[in-house]
């Protein structure tokens, strides 16, 4: 009987792994690969802020697991992980309900030979009072769609009343910075779609960061350049500012100031998925990640692996693997090889993280970042169109892992053609 691999979470790591295993073994019936995700559609997470502002349309860029699985040799199961019994090699999935709350599919159990946990991460509110009820956490497609609807309502209101639309974003990491920059450019596009009374004066974007600089994980040169560009776009930076409470009116800072915002986004910090706090059989950390060894194996549980943002893996230099798309993709590649080695009775190899640098998109036309490895200093600075091309190529690599290089290039070209005759901005 074919070995059964169950992958939970079809994101940057899980979907890449399912696709590679599926094409190599699943299509021939040599392996039974199940991909479980609570959402029917995959959107590459670094594109969520583009969905949120409406410059990409999820119906064009999204990958439907059911269809993709059929062509790439894995079975998609719609479901949300709620429990894990590693001693019985069983996972539990929640009941599926319809929009009126009626049960469509009851709770289920699924057995496995190998289990791969790839549930990603969520933003960390650090228990800040009011953050959960008042902020949008840009962690998944529904939250990006919620932001988009609020943005359209806010723009409509501003167009009719000339009131200001104020948007506050907590966290000036890549997500916060990219979202702030795109918002500015949306104002320029929206005018051509009949919002004639709107100008840059109607939009106020506040970016609030506890650290003294934006993009605090990146080299000073990158963060200072991005900072200068954001200031030029008119974005209001609040650096070294701690948010102590969120209310309907806005963000209350540690010094008692209120930063008023109609739309509030929380994009600070990353932790593992909330459900992990209930998976008591597994070694879960204080940040809700599951501890894995150098080969991504969950210690003490035969045949259980974890990768991507939900896994805590310390590298040989003592540093944890960062929560990044490039790390998730590399982990998927490593596990793809290791599962094959294991099935052949060979030793598995330790994961080695190659940091190729970081790129931050500052709109459809520009990006800044640092790339690793080629110059004497080890890193070099890129910006403008060149950085943007490199940023876009990261997405192309992701598509290649889902479809293979040839099909990924055709797919991207087809997407571009379809986008060509659609509105530049999603208006509904």
Ligand X SMILES: Cc1cc2nc3c(=O)[nH]c(=O)nc-3n(C[C@H](O)[C@H](O)[C@H](O)COP(=O)(O)OP(=O)(O)OC[C@H]3O[C@@H](n4cnc5c(N)ncnc54)[C@H](O)[C@@H]3O)c2cc1C
The contact set with ligand X (CB under 6 A) reads 8-14, 36-39, 42, 45-46, 48-49, 80-81, 118-120, 138-140, 174-175, 273, 275, 308-310, 323-326, 328
In the complex, minimum distance from the CB of residue 256 to ligand X, in angstroms, rounded to a whole number: 30
Nearer to ligand X, 53 or 155 (CB): 53
CA neighbor of 287 nearest in space, from 301, 300, 275, 272: 272
Sign of CA dihedral 336, 338, 339, 344: positive
What residue number has its CB nearest to ligand X?
11
- CB of residue 397 to ligand X, shortest distance in Å: 11
For the chain, counts of helices (H) and of strands (E): 11, 27
Cα(388)–Cα(87) distance, integer angstroms = 48
Q: Using the minimum distance from each CB to ligand X, give the nearer residue, 195 or 305.
A: 305
CB of 114 to ligand X, least distance (A): 17
CB of 56 to ligand X, least distance (A): 12
Name the residue nearer to ligand X (CB basis): 158 or 183.
183
Which residue matches tokens 């650096």? 239
Cβ closest to ligand X, residue 210 vs residue 310: 310
Q: Scan for tokens 């992701």, then name that residue.
A: 398
CA-based nearest residue to 272, from 120, 142, 87: 120
- CB 214 within 8 Å of CB 172: yes
Task: State the minimum distance, in angstroms, from the CB of residue 174 to ligand X.
Answer: 5
Q: Are 61 and 67 in contact (CB under 8 A)?
A: no
- The alpha carbon dihedral of 176, 179, 185, 187 has a sign of negative
Least CB distance from residue 421 to ligand X, whole Å? 27
Pick 140 or 216: Cβ nearer ligand X: 140
Which of 343, 395, 336 is CA-nearest to residue 364?
A: 395
Closest distance to ligand X from the beta carbon of 113 (Å)? 19
- Nearest approach, Cβ of 107 to ligand X (angstroms)? 13
For ligand X, give the closer residue by CB, 158 or 327. 327
- Residue 385's alpha-carbon distances to 234, 272, 359, 378, 388, in angstroms, are 21, 34, 12, 22, 5
Nearer to ligand X, 55 or 119 (CB): 119
Q: Which helix (H) or strand (E) holds 145?
A: helix 141-161
* Helix or strand run (H / E) with residue 148: helix 141-161
**What CA–CA distance (Å, rounded) separates 71 from 61?**
17
Q: Which is nearer to ligand X, 15 or 158 (CB)?
A: 15
Nearer to ligand X, 8 or 296 (CB): 8
Cα separation values, 338 from 238, 293, 348, Å: 46, 13, 5
CB of 143 to ligand X, least distance (A): 9
């Amino acid at each position: 009987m074919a070995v059964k691999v169950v992958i939970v979470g079809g994101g940057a790591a899980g979907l890449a792994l399912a696709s590679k295993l599926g094409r190599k073994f699943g299509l021939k019936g040599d392996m039974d690969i199940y991909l479980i995700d609570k959402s029917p559609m995959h959107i590459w997470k670094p594109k969520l802020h583009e969905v949120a502002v409406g410059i990409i349309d999820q119906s064009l860029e999204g990958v439907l697991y059911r269809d993709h699985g059929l062509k790439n040799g894995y079975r998609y199961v719609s479901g949300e992980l709620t429990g894990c019994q590693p001693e019985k090699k069983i996972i539990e999935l929640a009941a599926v309900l319809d929009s009126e709350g009626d049960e469509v599919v009851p709770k289920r159990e699924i057995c496995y030979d190998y289990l791969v946990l790839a549930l990603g991460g969520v933003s960390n509110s650090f228990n800040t009072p009011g953050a959960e009820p008042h902020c949008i956490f840009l962690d998944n497609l529904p939250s990006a769609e919620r932001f988009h609807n609020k943005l359209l309502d806010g723009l409509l209101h501003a167009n009719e009343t000339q009131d200001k639309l104020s948007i506050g974003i907590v966290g000036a990491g890549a997500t916060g910075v990219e979202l702030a920059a795109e918002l500015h450019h949306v104002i320029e596009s929206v005018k051509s779609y009949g919002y004639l009374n709107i100008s840059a004066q109607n939009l106020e974007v506040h970016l609030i960061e506890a650290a003294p600089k934006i993009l605090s994980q990146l080299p000073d040169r990158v963060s200072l350049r991005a900072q200068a560009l954001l200031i030029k776009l008119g974005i209001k930076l609040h650096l070294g500012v701690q948010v102590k409470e969120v209310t309907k009116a806005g963000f209350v800072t540690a010094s008692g100031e209120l930063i008023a915002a109609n739309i509030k986004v929380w994009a600070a910090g990353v932790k593992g998925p909330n459900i992990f706090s209930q998976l008591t059989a597994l070694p879960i950390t204080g940040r809700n990640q599951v501890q894995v060894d150098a080969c991504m194996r969950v210690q003490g549980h035969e045949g259980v692996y974890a990768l991507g943002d939900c896994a805590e893996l310390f590298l040989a230099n003592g540093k944890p693997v960062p929560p990044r798309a490039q790390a998730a993709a590399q982990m998927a590649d490593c596990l793809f090889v290791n599962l094959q080695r294991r099935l052949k009775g060979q030793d598995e190899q330790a994961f080695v993280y190659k940091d190729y640098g970081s790129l931050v998109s500052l709109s459809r036309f520009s990006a800044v970042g640092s790339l690793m490895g080629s110059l004497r200093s080890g890193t070099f600075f890129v910006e403008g169109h060149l950085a943007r091309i490199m940023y876009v190529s990261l997405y192309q690599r992701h598509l290649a892992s889902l479809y293979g290089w040839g099909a990924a290039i055709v797919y991207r070209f087809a997407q571009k053609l379809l986008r060509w005759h659609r509105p530049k901005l999603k208006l509904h």
